[in-house]
Chains A and B, each alone.
Chain A
Amino acid sequence: MTMKGGYQVFKLSPHGDVSNVECGNPNYVLRLGHAARGNEEVQVPMSGAGQYVRCKSTPHGVVGVRFTEKYPSPAPCWASIATHGGYQKGRGYRFPAVEGATVVAEGYSADGAAGRACGGEHVLVLVQPGCEFELESKYDSRWFSWDGENWLVESPSVHAARLALLEVAAGGGEWL
């Protein structure tokens, strides 16, 4: 199998923040979740050198392999997503099952002593170009769309408006 290069790694938050993960450090380990009672920490160690990453599944867990070259655009990317959007009694946060997003590793961050008060998954997701999903926080939500080069982050209203305008431009919708 030909390896064309690695994928970018991003950190996404349900509040709409997107940042690059600097995983070029030789000692960098991607940690998902928390290491405590009632929580679950999963570590994704990185081998090789470079800023771009592909992952391999082994019997002992997922391992990242670094590349100095970036996979040509439009490329998939990795997203480290802590889905916890703020404490709310009895509410747990999960990553939605959507087409084009594959969860390859999963940790858990819990609220309260020994994780007795719910919490949220912390997932490492392989996101294909064109994939979009919604992450909920305590009072709000954000839509994330990956086009193979950049992330587009929108509020639900702006997302609905964009899709509505696209539908009308394509001749869809119903005139009153």
Chain B
Amino acid sequence: MAINFQLLTLRGEHVTPGVQAAAMYPEITGSPQYVSFAPRWGSTRGAAEALAVASGPLGASCQVVVTGFMPVLVPSAGCPTRELVLIQEYSCGCGAKRWPDFNVTHDLTVLAKAGTGGGSGGETWSLVNAPLGWAAEVAAQFDNRRDAPDQTIDLII
């Protein structure tokens, strides 16, 4: 029995429903949607372009198939029992160095990961299988004030 996941994006104190998914090559008819790696800080040179691929237009929930290549998200309409969270950890770059870094320590299953490898600041995005309410709890612990210290939210389930 496949699990229904609620799709969420966690970035600092923000938890937003869904993940940003788009066709990487929209000019190609039938191009699938990808959960693309599009960080705000750091350089994407040599980084993975995508963390997962969707078999159809993504909504608020999905099911997940783990393959040997990349996770495949299958849109679904069932009641979610877990969260599929796209964690966007970051350290701010040029022009925003006084804002705190956002990092998370967890023991969840990471389905895919991508990170920057240079440039000013940096980001690491990971797609994790989490229990319901996990992302909101992490977001509530992050103190996003100017001159606040860098923070690593430690939320081991």
Contacts and interface: CB of A to CB of B under 8 A. Distances in A.
Contacts of B133: none
Contact of A157 (B34, B71, B74): B34
A170 to B, nearest CB: 10
A165 B66 contact: no
A158 B72 contact: no
A148 B69 CA distance: 25
A158 B24 contact: yes
B153 interface: no
B134 to A, nearest CB: 15
A164 B72 contact: yes
B13 interface: no
Interface string B42-76: 00011011100101000000011111111110100
Interface of B: 2-3, 5, 24-25, 32, 34, 45-46, 48-50, 53, 55, 63-72, 74, 129
B67 A173 contact: yes
Given A155-B49, A157-B49, A176 B69 contact: no
A130 interface: no
A168 B52 CA distance: 13
Contacts, number: 73
Contacts of A139: 45-46
Interface of A: 139-140, 155-158, 160-161, 163-165, 167-168, 172-176
Contacts of A161: 32, 34, 50, 53, 69-70
Nearest to B53: A161
Contact of B63 (A140, A164, A175): A175
B100 to A, nearest CB: 30
A139 B49 CA distance: 13
Given A160-B69, A164-B70, A165-B32, A175 B64 contact: yes
Contacts of A157: 24, 34, 48-50, 70
A127 to B, nearest CB: 23
Nearest to B64: A176
A91 B48 CA distance: 21
Across chains A and B, which 5 residue pairs bring their CB atoms closest together, nearest first? Answer: A157-B49, A161-B53, A173-B65, A164-B69, A175-B2
Nearest to B43: A139
Interface centre among A139, A161, A172 (most CB of B within 10 A): A161
B39 to A, nearest CB: 14
Given A140-B45, A165-B55, 19 more contacts: A139-B45, A157-B49, A157-B50, A160-B70, A161-B32, A161-B34, A163-B70, A164-B68, A165-B32, A165-B72, A167-B69, A168-B55, A168-B65, A168-B74, A173-B66, A174-B67, A176-B3, A176-B64, A176-B129
